[in-house]
Amino acid sequence: MKLTFVYPAGENSSNGTRRKSGKVVGSQEGSFTVRSEGLVYWLRLLSGTNDPVYGGLAVIIALFAGVAIGMVFSWIDCILGKGATGGVETHAH
């Protein structure tokens, strides 16, 4: 079963009650195991088993994010008309 909300990983238990006309007519307790899958599982496994690769991946992601943010701010600057020259202006006196 896929859970759409955050639930702690590992063994968990849950209690449920059935009500009819405001009165409890039954209850049941069950347990289930929550585990990570997909990208979350792979990243968690990588961080615990191969630190240099995980660190390198983090640096690469940070570099790409920084370049992307820089491009967005440059684009906003050009739209607002303040960056029409495309760079730092120099003046000769």
DSSP string, 29-71: EEEEEE---HHHHHHHHHHHH-HHHHHHHHHHHHHHHHHHHHH
Exposure of 40 in the CB half-sphere (CA atoms within 13 A) = 6
Residue 89 confidence (pLDDT)? 60
pTM, two decimals, is: 0.49
Helix (H, G, I), strand (E, B) or coil at 23: strand
Identify the pLDDT of residue 34: 80
pLDDT tens readout for residues 32-90:
888 778 888 888 888 889 989 999 999 999 999 999 999 999 999 888 876 555 555 65
